């Protein structure tokens, strides 16, 4: 009797584990992709409705909004267009200095999300003052942490997360971002890792990626090659394949971003080229599960 109960228990646990595994998407599956850098980076100059329709046409169901000041009047239209096409607003771009709570754009963005009851991620870039370089490492972490915590507290009130965005410089170093998050100690904070802003980190990527993986909200892909232009299509570089292997082996299953990031190119063309480049690399990775989704 006891033996039979143990067998039932083991079988039940196995079914639970298998069920959980089935719900975890392949990290490079098409449904796990998001579109990034397609608002100011679009030679077609699409508006909200045209942009949402373009994403649906490509089969991309997630989008992060990289707006500029001239886009503020159409914020509501953007949300309406995304909803109409079934596109999830995965994140909303925001940058600030030492006191985000006092900056106009912070109030505009958080006010919009609160009014529209949108729970999403704030992709946040901290821009330090000119005197920042004169500070000690401890002082830098303290100042950056104060800014991040201030934003995270307000974001938490409306059910949003804050992801630290690596954009080069001191704030773009993964070890510094981990130190900031450790000091902030808020559950609604994490990291966004961009391949294109980590070109100087390629050689140590395999060492630090497992450390940042538990805090990652998204990873944005790009072609990677030393000495090449910053923006390359996926598959045009010499190093991104090995980096994709690291991402896949790490167990990361969060969203994966494709970008255009070229103002001289149609955003649809850029997203399509990167999707195709990723698909070709998936063949080399022998990622059959992901390939079935393309």
Q: pLDDT of 115-148, one tens digit each? A: 999 999 999 999 999 999 999 999 999 999 999 9
In order, the DSSP letters of the chain are: -HHHHHHHHHHHHHHHHHHHHHHSPPTTSGGGEEEES-SSS-TT---HHHHHHHHHHHT--EEEE---GGGGGGHHHHHHHHHHHT-EEEEEEEEE-S-GGGSHHHHHHHHHHHHTT---EEEEEE---GGGGGS-HHHHHHHHHHHHHHHHHHHHHTT-EEEEEP-STGGG-HHHHHHHHHHH--TTEEEEEESTT-GGGGGGHHHHHHHHGGGEEEEE-----TTS-S---TTSSSSHHHHHHHHHHHT--S-EEEE---TTS-HHHHHHHHHHHHHHHHHHHT-HHHHTT-
User: What is the domain partition of the chain in residue ranges?
Assistant: 25-291
**pLDDT band with cut points at 50, 70 and 90 for residue 74:** very high
- What's the mean pLDDT when you consider all of the chain? 92
**With 70 as the cut, is the pLDDT of residue 15 above it?**
no
**pLDDT band with cut points at 50, 70 and 90 for residue 33:** very high
Question: How confident is the model at residue 40, as a pLDDT?
Answer: 98
For residues 225 and 3, the model is more confident at 225
Q: pLDDT of 189-198, one tens digit each? A: 999 999 999 9
pTM of the model: 0.91
Q: Cα(233)–Cα(276) distance, rounded to whole angstroms?
A: 9
Other beta carbons within 10 Å of 20: 9
Q: pLDDT of 81-119, one tens digit each? A: 999 999 999 999 999 999 999 999 999 999 999 999 999
Q: Cα(121)–Cα(119) distance, rounded to whole angstroms?
A: 7
Fold classified for 25-291: TIM Barrel (3.20.20)
Write the CA distances from 90 to 65, 143, 172, 192, 266, integer angstroms: 8, 27, 21, 12, 22
Q: pLDDT of 147-178, one tens digit each? A: 999 999 999 999 999 999 999 999 999 999 99
Comparing C-alpha atoms, which of 271, 273, 245 is closest to residue 28? 245
Question: How confident is the model at residue 25, as a pLDDT?
Answer: 65
Q: pLDDT of 39-70, one tens digit each? A: 999 999 999 999 999 999 999 999 999 999 99
Comparing C-alpha atoms, which of 202, 252, 210, 259 is closest to residue 228? 202
Q: What is the dihedral of CA 234, 59, 36, 106, to 10 degrees?
A: -170
């Amino acid at each position: 009797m006891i033996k039979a109960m143990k067998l039932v228990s083991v079988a039940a646990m196995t079914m639970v584990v298998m069920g959980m595994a089935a719900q975890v998407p392949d990290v490079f599956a098409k449904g796990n992709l998001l579109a990034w850098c397609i608002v100011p980076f679009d030679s077609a100059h699409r508006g909200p409705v045209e942009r949402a329709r373009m994403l649906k046409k490509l089969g991309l169901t997630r989008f992060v909004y990289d707006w500029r000041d001239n886009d503020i009047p159409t914020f509501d239209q953007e949300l309406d267009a995304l909803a109409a096409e079934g596109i999830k607003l995965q994140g909303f771009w925001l940058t600030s200095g030492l006191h985000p709570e006092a900056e106009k754009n912070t109030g505009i963005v958080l006010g919009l999300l609160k009014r529209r009851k949108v729970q999403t991620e704030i992709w946040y870039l901290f821009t330090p003052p000119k005197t920042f370089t004169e500070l000690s490492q401890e002082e830098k972490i303290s100042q950056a942490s104060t800014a991040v915590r201030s934003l995270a507290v307000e974001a938490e009130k409306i059910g949003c997360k804050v992801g630290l965005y690596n954009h080069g410089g001191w704030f773009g170093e993964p070890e510094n971002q981990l130190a900031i998050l450790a000091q902030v100690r808020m559950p609604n904070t994490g990291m966004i890792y961009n391949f294109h802003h980590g070109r100087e980190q390629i050689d140590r990527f395999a060492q630090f990626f497992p450390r940042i993986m538990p805090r990652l909200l998204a990873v944005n892909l790009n072609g990677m090659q030393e000495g090449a232009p910053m923006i390359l299509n996926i598959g045009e570089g010499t190093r991104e394949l090995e980096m994709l292997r690291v991402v896949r082996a790490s167990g990361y299953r969060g969203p994966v971003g494709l970008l255009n990031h070229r103002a001289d190119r149609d955003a649809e063309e850029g997203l399509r080229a990167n999707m195709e480049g990723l698909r070709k690399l998936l063949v080399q990775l022998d990622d059959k599960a992901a390939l079935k989704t393309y």
